[in-house]
Chain A
Amino acid sequence: MDFSDTAEEASFRAEVVAFLEAHATRKTGRITDPEAADDAYVARARAWQAKKAEAGFAGITWPKAWGGRGGTPMQQVIYGQEEAKFSLPRGVFEIGLGMCIPTVATYAAPEISAQHVGPALRGETIWCQLFSEPAAGSDVAGLRTRAERDGDDWIINGQKIWTSGAHFSDYGLLLTRTDPAVPKHAGLTMFFLDMKSPGVEVRRIKQISGTSNFNEVFFTDVRIPDAQRVGKIGGGWKVALTTLMHERLAIGTLAGPDFADVLELARTVEVNGVPAIRDAAVRDRLADWYVQSKGLEYTKFRTITALSRGQMPGPESSIYKIVSAQKLQEIAHFALDLMDSAGLVTDPEVAPMRAMFQQALLYSPGGRIAGGTDEILRNIIAERVLGLPGDIRVDREKPFNQLTAG
C-alpha cells in the first residue's frame, strides 16, 4: 500500500496546482460565514468556470468531441482534491455539468447537443434539474407534470419542487408525464427548456435554516418544441436514470462541522468546571466521530484506488452520504449540548466558532433528504450491494391514472 501518485498523476497534479495558484486564493483555516448564492456570487462562479474551461480543467472526463479533456476519472479526482483547497464559488455548475449536460449529450440529437454543451462548459449557461414534485420525491416516477402534444410543440402544465438553482438557471432538464394511461414508469418523457419561456414561474423556498437553496417551479401552458425532447416519447425513465446515476456520485460527503471542529469546541467549553474534553462521555462520542470521519476518508482512498485501476464506483458509494449526513446532525446536537443554554444563541458574534453548530443544527436535516434519502440509500445498499429483493410495489403494473395518490 502507498499513497503516492504515479508519475503521470503527479505531473497532472503539478499542472493543476500551478493553474490554481495562478488564478485562485488558498483557503485559510479561519472559519468563515456561509455565502449566499446572490447575483454577484453567480457572476463570480461563471467567471471561474470560463477560466477553468479555457485552461482545459472543465469537463476533464468528457470526450474531446464535447469540448472536454478526454481525461480519466482519476484526473477528475486529483483536480477536485486540489481545487477543494482553494476559496472558490461552488454549487452553481455541479448539477448542470455533472448531471444535465451529460444526459443531453447522451440522448439529444448531435446538432442540439453541439449547441448547448460548449456554452455550459464555459459557464455561459447554467442548468437545473426539474424532476421532484410535491407528490413525487423518493418515488419520482410518480410525477404528474403533464406534457401534451400540440403539433410540433408540447404544452407543459404542472409543478416542480426542490429545484436547486432554478432562480439563476438558463435551462432546465424537465421530466414530464406524456401518457397517464400506462404504468407510471412507461408514461414519462424528458425535455429541456429555456427557463425564461413564457409560463415558467420560479419561487424561492425558505428552508428551516432561513436560507433559500431551492425553488418551486410552476408551468402554465409552457410551450416546448419537440426538438427539445431528450430521448424517446415514453422513454423518460431510462433517461432520468442516467441523470440520477450521476447524482449519487456528485453529492458524496457533506460540508459542515466535523470531528476537528467538535474537538476544538470540546477543548474550550467547560463541563462541571473542567474542559469538556476531560469528560469520558465526551471522549467516547468524539472517538466515534473520528472513526466515522476517517472511515469515510479511507473508503474514498479505496474508491480512488479502484478508479485509478480503471474500475467504476458502484452503489457502494451510497455509504458516504448516509454516514456523513447523520454524523453532521449528531455533531450539531452534541456540540450545542456542550454549550448548554448558551447553545441557544445563534448570533455569530456571541456563539462559539461563529455559530457553525447552530447553523448546522438547522441545515443538517436537509442532508439526510437531498440526493436520495437515508431510506432510499439503505434500499440501494440492501438491493444492489447485498442482493436482497426489491420492495413489493403495488403500483408497478397499474395504469398511472388508476393509482391512489396524495
Chain B
Amino acid sequence: MNFDFSDDLQQVRSEARAFLKEHAAGSSRRALEAGHGFDQPLWARIAQLGWVGAAIPEEYGGSGLGDEGLCVLAEEIGHSLAATPFASSAYLASQAVLRFGSAAQRAKYLPGLADGSLTGCFALAEGGGSPRAGAVRAVFHDGAVTGEKLPVIDGGVADIAVVAVRDGAEVTLALVPLADVAVTRTPLDTLDPSRDAARLVFTNARAEVLPGAVGFAAVEHVLDRAAVFFAFEQVGGAQACLDMARDFALQRQAFGRQIGSFQAIKHKLAEVYVAIELARSNAYYGAWALGADAPDLTSAAAAARVAATHAFELASAENIQTHGGMGFTWEYDCHLYYRRAKHLSLAIGAAPYWKDRLIGFIEQRNAA
C-alpha cells in the first residue's frame, strides 16, 4: 500500500510552495484592487516553470509530471490564492485537447498550452442550470460555432476556448480561437473579482471539432477529470483558511486569554480540520483514479469534489467567524478566500449536481 505522493512530487510541492510564497503573495489582492482577475506576470512565471503543462506528456512539450503532479500543484495554487487561469487552461482546456483532440490538434495546441503562450478556457454554461446535454444550445455547423456562453471563467483572458456545442443532434466539443471578430467578449462582474469571467458570443466563429469528443459523455469526462484537480485546489484553499484561523486564534486575546483557548473556537476549528482531512483523503483517491483511468473515476471525482467543496466553504466561512469583525473588512484577506471558495464551488457544477451524479453512478454500477 502506497497511498501518498512520491518523494519526487513531495519535492515539487515544497518548491512550489516556496515559489508561491514569494511570488504569489498578494496576487489575488492586486487583481481585486485592479479590477481585472488576472495576474499576468505570475501566470508567465508559472508557465515558465512548466506547471501548466504538468499533466501534458513531454512529447507535446509538457513537463510530464503526470496527473498526480498536477494534483500537487493544484493544491499549492489553491493555498496561495494565485489569480491566474491555471484551472481553465491546465485542468479543462488542455485535458480536453489531450483526451479528445486529433494527433494534429494535440501537436498544434498542447505545446502552446504547456508553455503558456496559449491560454485556454472551457465554455459550457449558457446561463443558469447544472451541466446537462439539453442545456447545450450553441451550434457547430460548417466549421463555425454560433451561440452564447455565460459565464466563461477566464473567457476574457484566454486565447482559445473549448466550447460545448451541438453538432446535429449530438453534443461535442469545438476548439475556437478567441481573437476573432466573430467572437464578442464582454467582461462579467462576479463574486470573485480576482478571477476573470466573461460572456462570449460566437457568430459563425471559425472552429474545429475535437473528433474524440462524442456526445455529452465527453463533456462529463472532462468535468470528471477536472473535478479531481479542482478538489485539490479547494483543499489547498481550505487548509490556508484553517492555518490563518489558527494563527489568529493564537494571537488574538479576549476576556483575558487567547481566543484559541475557548472550546467554542477549538471545536469549530477541529470540525474544519475533520472536513479538510475527509476531503483530502477523497481527493487522494481521485488522484489515484485519474492516473489509473479507473472505472470508478466518476464516483471518485464526484466524492472528491463534494468533500472539497464542503471543506473550502466551511473553512473560509469559519475563518471569517474566527476573525470576528476584522474578518469582515476589505483589508483582511479572509474575504478573498471566501470569494474564491464559492467561485471554485460553482465553477464546474455545484455540489447538488455532483451529489446527484455520484448517486446516479453508484445506482448504475449496482444495477450492472
Task: Report Cα–Cα, A385/B243, bound state, in Å.
Answer: 12
| Cβ–Cβ contact A263 & B362, under 8 A | yes
Residue total for B at the interface (Cβ-Cβ under 8 A):
48
Chain A, 283-307, contact with B by CB distance < 8 Å: what is the 0/1 string?
Answer: 1101110111011111101101100
**A392 part of interface (Cβ distance < 8 Å):** yes
**B285 part of interface (Cβ distance < 8 Å):** yes
| Cβ–Cβ contact A388 & B5, under 8 A | no
| Cβ–Cβ contact B269 & A382, under 8 A | yes
Least distance between A44 CB and chain B CB atoms (Å)? 32
B141-149, B183-191, B273-281: which lies at the interface: B273-281
| Cβ–Cβ contact A386 & B277, under 8 A | no
Which residues in chain B, 2-36, are within 8 Å of chain A measured between CB atoms? 2-5
Q: Point out the residue from B261, B271, B279 that lies within 8 Å of A389, measured CB to CB.
A: B261
Query: Which chain A positions have C-beta within 8 A of B363?
Result: 277
Nearest B-chain residue to A77, judged by Cβ: B1
| Cβ–Cβ contact A386 & B362, under 8 A | no
**B263 part of interface (Cβ distance < 8 Å):** yes
| Cβ–Cβ contact A302 & B4, under 8 A | yes
Q: Point out the residue from B5, B269, B278 that lies within 8 Å of A386, measured CB to CB.
A: B269
Nearest B-chain residue to A304, judged by Cβ: B1
Chain B, 319-338, contact with A by CB distance < 8 Å: what is the 0/1 string?
Answer: 00000000000000000000
Interface residue tally on A, bucketed by range: 35 or more
**A391 part of interface (Cβ distance < 8 Å):** yes
Task: Report Cα–Cα, A283/B351, bound state, in Å.
Answer: 12
| Cβ–Cβ contact A299 & B266, under 8 A | no
Task: Report Cα–Cα, A288/B359, bound state, in Å.
Answer: 10
Q: Point out the residue from A3, A295, A319, A388 that lies within 8 Å of B261, measured CB to CB.
A: A388
Task: Report Cα–Cα, A378/B273, bound state, in Å.
Answer: 10
Task: Report Cα–Cα, A345/B5, bound state, in Å.
Answer: 49
**A253 part of interface (Cβ distance < 8 Å):** no
**A156 part of interface (Cβ distance < 8 Å):** no
| Cβ–Cβ contact A290 & B261, under 8 A | no
**A379 part of interface (Cβ distance < 8 Å):** yes
Task: Report Cα–Cα, A287/B357, bound state, in Å.
Answer: 9
Chain B, 232-263, contact with A by CB distance < 8 Å: what is the 0/1 string?
Answer: 00000000001000100110000001101101
Query: Which chain B positions have C-beta within 8 A of A308?
Result: 1-2
Task: Report Cα–Cα, A337/B82, bound state, in Å.
Answer: 45
**B288 part of interface (Cβ distance < 8 Å):** yes
**A139 part of interface (Cβ distance < 8 Å):** no
Q: Point out the residue from A5, A316, A378 that lies within 8 Å of B267, measured CB to CB.
A: A378
Task: Report Cα–Cα, A316/B281, bound state, in Å.
Answer: 13
| Cβ–Cβ contact B278 & A299, under 8 A | yes
Nearest A-chain residue to B300, judged by Cβ: A294
| Cβ–Cβ contact A3 & B303, under 8 A | no
| Cβ–Cβ contact B2 & A1, under 8 A | yes
| Cβ–Cβ contact A388 & B246, under 8 A | yes
Secondary structure call for the B interface: helix
**B270 part of interface (Cβ distance < 8 Å):** yes
With A319-B274, A385-B273 as known contacts, state yes or no: A298 contacts B281, CB within 8 Å: yes
Query: Which chain B positions have C-beta within 8 A of A5?
Result: 1
Least distance between B182 CB and chain A CB atoms (Å)? 40
Query: Which chain A positions have C-beta within 8 A of B354?
Result: 287
Q: Point out the residue from B242, B257, B263, B306 that lies within 8 Å of A287, measured CB to CB.
A: B306
| Cβ–Cβ contact A381 & B273, under 8 A | yes
Least distance between B99 CB and chain A CB atoms (Å)? 21
Query: Which chain B positions have C-beta within 8 A of A295?
Result: 277-279, 281-282, 303, 307
Query: Which chain B positions have C-beta within 8 A of A383?
Result: 266
Query: Which chain A positions have C-beta within 8 A of B279?
Result: 295
Which residues in chain A, 372-406, are within 8 Å of chain B measured between CB atoms? 375, 377-379, 381-383, 385-392
Task: Report Cα–Cα, A387/B245, bound state, in Å.
Answer: 12
Task: Report Cα–Cα, A297/B3, bound state, in Å.
Answer: 12
Q: Point out the residue from B1, B258, B358, B359 that lies within 8 Å of A277, measured CB to CB.
A: B359
Secondary structure call for the A interface: helix
**B100 part of interface (Cβ distance < 8 Å):** no
Chain B, 345-368, contact with A by CB distance < 8 Å: what is the 0/1 string?
Answer: 000000010111011001100100
Task: Report Cα–Cα, A115/B366, bound state, in Å.
Answer: 54
Least distance between B220 CB and chain A CB atoms (Å)? 17
| Cβ–Cβ contact A298 & B285, under 8 A | yes
**B68 part of interface (Cβ distance < 8 Å):** yes
Query: Which chain B positions have C-beta within 8 A of A298?
Result: 3, 281-282, 284-285
Nearest B-chain residue to A299, judged by Cβ: B281
**A280 part of interface (Cβ distance < 8 Å):** yes
Query: Which chain A positions have C-beta within 8 A of B246?
Result: 386-388
Task: Report Cα–Cα, A25/B256, bound state, in Å.
Answer: 62
| Cβ–Cβ contact A1 & B288, under 8 A | yes
Query: Which chain A positions have C-beta within 8 A of B285?
Result: 294, 298, 301
| Cβ–Cβ contact B355 & A283, under 8 A | yes
**A353 part of interface (Cβ distance < 8 Å):** no
| Cβ–Cβ contact A388 & B249, under 8 A | yes
Task: Report Cα–Cα, A237/B359, bound state, in Å.
Answer: 49
Query: Which chain B positions have C-beta within 8 A of A294?
Result: 281-282, 285, 303
Query: Which chain B positions have C-beta within 8 A of A304?
Result: 1, 3
| Cβ–Cβ contact B4 & A389, under 8 A | no
Query: Which chain B positions have C-beta within 8 A of A305?
Result: 1-4
Nearest A-chain residue to B278, judged by Cβ: A295
| Cβ–Cβ contact A388 & B277, under 8 A | no
Task: Report Cα–Cα, A319/B276, bound state, in Å.
Answer: 11
Task: Report Cα–Cα, A387/B246, bound state, in Å.
Answer: 8
With A298-B284, A298-B285 as known contacts, state yes or no: A379 contacts B263, CB within 8 Å: yes
Nearest B-chain residue to A382, judged by Cβ: B266
**B81 part of interface (Cβ distance < 8 Å):** no
Task: Report Cα–Cα, A390/B285, bound state, in Å.
Answer: 34
Which residues in chain B, 280-317, are within 8 Å of chain A measured between CB atoms? 281-282, 284-285, 287-288, 291, 299, 302-303, 306-307, 310
Query: Which chain A positions have C-beta within 8 A of B284?
Result: 1, 298, 301-302
Task: Report Cα–Cα, A375/B270, bound state, in Å.
Answer: 10
**A323 part of interface (Cβ distance < 8 Å):** yes
| Cβ–Cβ contact A322 & B267, under 8 A | no
Q: Point out the residue from A9, A263, A283, A378 that lies within 8 Å of B266, measured CB to CB.
A: A378
Nearest A-chain residue to B363, judged by Cβ: A277
Query: Which chain B positions have C-beta within 8 A of A35?
Result: none
Nearest B-chain residue to A5, judged by Cβ: B1
**B118 part of interface (Cβ distance < 8 Å):** no
Task: Report Cα–Cα, A388/B281, bound state, in Å.
Answer: 24
A1-B284, A294-B282, A295-B277 provided; 13 other pairs, C-beta below 8 A? A283-B359, A286-B359, A288-B306, A290-B303, A301-B3, A301-B285, A302-B4, A305-B3, A379-B267, A381-B273, A382-B263, A385-B270, A388-B266
A-B CB contact pairs (8 Å), 17 listed: A1-B4, A1-B68, A277-B363, A283-B356, A287-B358, A288-B355, A291-B310, A294-B281, A299-B281, A302-B284, A319-B278, A377-B270, A382-B260, A382-B266, A385-B273, A387-B246, A389-B261
